[in-house]
Amino acid sequence: MIKPHGSEQLNPLFVQDDAKRAALVKEAEGLPSIVVSSAAAANAVMLGCGYFNPLKGYMNVADAMGVAEGMKTSDGLFWPTPVLNVVKDPAPVKDAKRIALRDPNVDGNPVIAIQDVAAIEEITADQMKLMTEKIYRTTDMEHPGVAAFNTVGRFAISGPIQVLNYSYFEKEFPETFRTAVQIRNEIEKCGWNKVVAFQTRNPMHRAHEELCRMAKDAVNADGILIHMLLGKLKAGDIPADVRDAAIRKMVELYFPPNTVMITGYGFDMLYAGPREAVLHAVFRQNCGCTHLIVGRDHAGVGSYYGGFDAQTIFDDEVPQGALEIEIFKADHTAWSKKLGKVIMMRDAPDHTKEDWVFLSGTKVRAMLSAGEDLPVEFSRPEVAKILMGYYQSAAAKG
């Protein structure tokens, strides 16, 4: 199986031993504590799961700046985005060497991790601007990732952590949430050698379904990992439980048994386009995948990124050999009226706009809210039915 990023073995930071974890939970009661941001809590979950291997905790400012500027930490580790614990007011933990981090996303703010404090540093306005520009390629506060990154505070608390739980993800998504360790074990159990990963924060329509098949066939993979984001999204995105139900129905009805693994991970979407695509590659390598599908506007939002910037970054900015996972570069896929099937648009230079079945997100939402069936060329009817139920319920409430 493909090696994890940066180490021979996966080193998740979740404390597996029950007795040790119980002792740490008890210790946390007497430690100075602070409620962290949703982003920092998600980082803790990803560190705990092994997705952020080989990191041992939160970065200091020097590492975060090095990652932003050149995708390398101070000690030379390749890494695409800062992994920070940034707070507005560090006063509750000032001068403490060991602190409890409280989860903002669970009632009562239980402790999600214990951190050994290496440093508390104030990030300057210039440093924030540079990191924002490098990671998001814009400083526009209308960009949801930029807004989230720039409103959590200016004080970075760095140092290693011990993770005590997986926030709300295990409880809310018991059938879907999986750690990198669990996925590796499952891949091994299935006997898969080549695994192609598909990242999604949306339901999967016919084009996505066929793209997974195309990639699997093209690289001769043994299986497909459909890996959905379960954390915080921007307003208007479809909730994770609805996406989960729609994807499971599609796989159940339209894929052969034992060829697709449906899983999810606990992270908040960055909407960082190219840099987030590289991050996606890192943690798919950590969960044992050999290939990652990167399509048009991967991890993008609005018109902040070029359609294929998330592909070219792997050629132009990721150093040779920095990652072992391979990228399957996909074009926009859609139903061809001429050919009667879903294909990649680059494979049909003779097609005009009228030869494709296209529906905008706005049109899809309007149709489903009104109880109108989507074209079967665009969406499987069983998937559309689940989405229609969600949109009609939302419309009735709104």
| The domain boundary residue, chosen from 170, 199, 215 | 170
Q: Are residues 22 and 156 in the same domain?
A: yes
Low-confidence stretches of the chain (pLDDT beneath 50): none
Give CA–CA dist 173/55, Å, rounded.
25
Q: Which of 11, 109, 193, 202 is catalytic?
A: 202
Angle at 282 between CA 277 and CA 285, to 5 degrees: 120
Q: Are residues 108 and 181 in the same domain?
A: no
Helix axes of 381-397 and 361-369: crossing angle, nearest 10 degrees: 80
| Residue 9 belongs to a domain | no
Q: What's the pLDDT score for residue 233?
A: 80
Q: What's the pLDDT score for residue 83?
A: 98
Give CA–CA dist 134/275, Å, rounded.
9
Q: Are residues 139 and 200 in the same domain?
A: no
Closest CA to 1 of 377, 303, 284: 284
Q: Are residues 163 and 181 in the same domain?
A: no
- Listed in order, strand segments (DSSP E) in the chain are 33-35, 57-58, 86-87, 98-102, 111-116, 119-122, 155-163, 195-200, 223-229, 260-265, 291-294, 326-329, 333-336, 341-344, 356-357
Q: Are residues 159 and 189 in the same domain?
A: no
Closest CA to 391 of 199, 203, 228: 203
Closest CA to 391 of 361, 350, 351: 361
Q: Are residues 118 and 267 in the same domain?
A: no
286 tagged catalytic: no
Instruction: Name the token pair of 203.
Output: 């339901």
Q: Which residues pair with 155 in a beta bridge?
A: 87, 122
| Residue 394 belongs to a domain | no
Q: The domain spanning residue 125 has which CATH number?
A: 3.10.400.10
- Contact 2/288 with Cβ under 8 angstroms? yes
For the chain, give the number of residues: 398
pLDDT in tens, 236-275: 788 899 999 999 999 999 999 999 999 999 999 999 999 9
| Residue 70 belongs to a domain | yes
- Which residues constitute the domain of residue 37? 18-170
Q: What's the pLDDT score for residue 362?
A: 83
Q: Are residues 54 and 69 in the same domain?
A: yes
Q: What's the pLDDT score for residue 328?
A: 98
| Residue 379 belongs to a domain | no
Q: Cα(first)–Cα(last) distance of the chain, in Å?
A: 49
Q: What's the pLDDT score for residue 398?
A: 65
Q: What's the pLDDT score for residue 347?
A: 95
Q: Are residues 273 and 149 in the same domain?
A: no
Q: Are residues 82 and 164 in the same domain?
A: yes
- Contact 90/157 with Cβ under 8 angstroms? yes
Q: Are residues 212 and 110 in the same domain?
A: no
| The domain boundary residue, chosen from 297, 319, 334 | 334
Q: Which of 21, 201, 213, 365 is catalytic?
A: 201
Residue type at 77 in one-letter notation: L
Give CA–CA dist 178/175, Å, rounded.
8
| The domain boundary residue, chosen from 334, 365, 384 | 334
Q: Are residues 193 and 147 in the same domain?
A: no
Query: How many structural domains are present in the chain?
Result: 2
Q: The domain spanning residue 313 has which CATH number?
A: 3.40.50.620
SS (H, E, C) 121-181: EECCHHHHHHHHHHHHCCCCCCCHHHHHHCCCCCEEEEEEEEECCCCCHHHHCCCCECCHH
Q: Are residues 179 and 307 in the same domain?
A: yes
Per the rule left: phi > 0, alpha: psi between -120 and 50, beta: everything else, 6 is: left
Q: Which residue has the tokens 């020097």?
A: 62
Helix axes of 309-316 and 274-286: crossing angle, nearest 10 degrees: 70
Give CA–CA dist 356/333, Å, rounded.
10
What is the value of pTM for the model shown?
A: 0.96
| Residue 145 belongs to a domain | yes
201 tagged catalytic: yes
Q: What's the pLDDT score for residue 119?
A: 98
